[in-house]
């Protein structure tokens, strides 16, 4: 039986499967580290660093909260990022995961402004094809 266990002392090799899954799911640069060990950085489908930490990862560990910011130093200086802690059952941080925050860079009003029109078009097409729901 396979298992993935993460702890505050997980090494890069141990957190890599989780970080890789997040990277593949979002297709965004991903960073991750455990509380007591440096971690990984993935970009464009590749592991680019197996001994990684960054200022926002460290801050999220210290504060044990989600952080949306634009770092003023480090690898992602000037790029919006979001970092969230992975907590144990008592709420203590054991690791943090960070991604480039593309939502921060998108004009959501313009993206979703056409949403009602798109729904109407899909419904109209279904009606013309005699499909329900």
Specify the pLDDT at position 120: 74
- Asked if the model's pLDDT at residue 46 lies above 90, the reply is yes
Q: Would you say residue 1 lies in a domain?
A: no
The two three-digit tokens of residue 107, written as one number: 């004009």
User: Does residue 47 contact residue 41 with C-beta atoms inside 8 Å?
Assistant: yes
pLDDT tens for each residue of 56-71: 999 999 999 999 999 9
pLDDT tens for each residue of 103-128: 766 665 666 666 677 667 767 766 66
Report the number of distinct structural domains present in the chain.
1
The two three-digit tokens of residue 71, written as one number: 């770092």
Return d(Cα 33, Cα 66) in angstroms, integer: 15
Q: Which domain holds residue 27?
A: 12-106
- List phi, psi (to 5°) of 132: -105, 150
Return d(Cα 43, Cα 39) in angstroms, integer: 14
Residue 80: CATH number of its domain: 3.30.450.40
* pTM recorded for the entire structure: 0.78
Q: Would you say residue 86 lies in a domain?
A: yes
Return d(Cα 54, Cα 99) in angstroms, integer: 12
């Amino acid at each position: 039986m396979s298992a993935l266990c993460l702890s505050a002392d997980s090494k890069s090799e141990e957190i890599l499967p989780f970080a890789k899954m997040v990277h593949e799911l979002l297709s965004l640069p991903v960073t991750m580290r455990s509380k007591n060990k440096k971690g990984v950085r993935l970009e464009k489908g590749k592991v680019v660093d197996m001994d990684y930490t960054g200022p926002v990862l460290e801050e999220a560990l210290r504060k044990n909260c989600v952080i949306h910011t634009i770092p003023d130093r480090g690898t992602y200086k000037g790029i919006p990022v979001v970092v969230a802690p992975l907590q144990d059952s008592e709420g203590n941080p054991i690791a943090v995961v960070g991604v480039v925050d593309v939502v921060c860079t998108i004009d959501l009003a313009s993206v979703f402004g056409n949403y009602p029109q798109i729904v109407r078009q899909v419904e109209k097409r279904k009606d013309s094809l005699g499909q329900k729901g």
